[in-house]
Amino acid sequence: MASRALNFIYFHRRRIAVTAGFCGAYGMTCHSAIKWKNDVLRLGIAGSLATVFIEAAFHMVDTVNIRAKSQAKQISTFKMTQLIYRGEGLKGFSKGFSAAFYGGVAYGFTYFVIYKVLKEKLKEWLESKVDLAVVYLLAAFLTEVCSLSV
C-alpha cells in the first residue's frame, strides 16, 4: 500500500508541487487580506474564496449533471452516479476539479472587484436619474458579462 502511494506521488509530483505552491500562496494571501486597508481587493479575495468553496461543494453534482447530459441517450442522475462510481470509483467524481478550482479563484476575484467598482461608479452617475435597484441590477449584469468573458 505504501509503495503504491509513493508511486502515485512520484508520478504526479509536478501537479502536487504546483497545487501545493498555489494553495499555499493563495492561503497566505487570503489570511493576510484580513488586514488590508483596500476594501476592493479585500472583497475580491473574499469573493474568490467564497466561489472556491461553492465550486468544491457542488463539483460532484456538476460532474454527474454534465456527464448525464453528454450521453447520447437520456440518462437519470441516479443512474449516472452509479455508472461513474462503478467505472471510476470516487476519483471519477473529482475529475476536472483543478480547472474548477483555478477558474473559481479567478472568476470570484474578478466578479467581486468589478461589481464593487461598477456599483459605486454607476451610483455616482445614475443615482438621481434612476432607482437604486436599477443601478444594482445594471452593475450585476455588466459584472457578470465581464467576469464570464475573463
pLDDT at 115: 92
The whole-chain average pLDDT of the chain stands at 87
Nearest C-alpha neighbor of 56 from the set 88, 106, 103, 101: 101
- What's the pLDDT tens digit per position in 73-116? 888 889 999 999 999 888 888 888 888 888 888 899 999 999 99
pTM, to two decimals: 0.76
What is the pLDDT, as a whole number, of residue 1? 64
- Could you tell me the residue ranges of all domains in the chain? 1-35, 36-149
pLDDT tens track for 24-52: 888 898 888 888 898 888 888 999 989 98
Contacts for 111 with CB less than 8 Å, ≥ 6 apart:
47, 51, 143, 144, 147
Q: Which residues are CB-contacts of 124 (< 8 A; sequence separation ≥ 6)?
A: none
- Would you place residue 148 in the very low, low, confident or very high pLDDT band (cuts 50, 70, 90)? confident
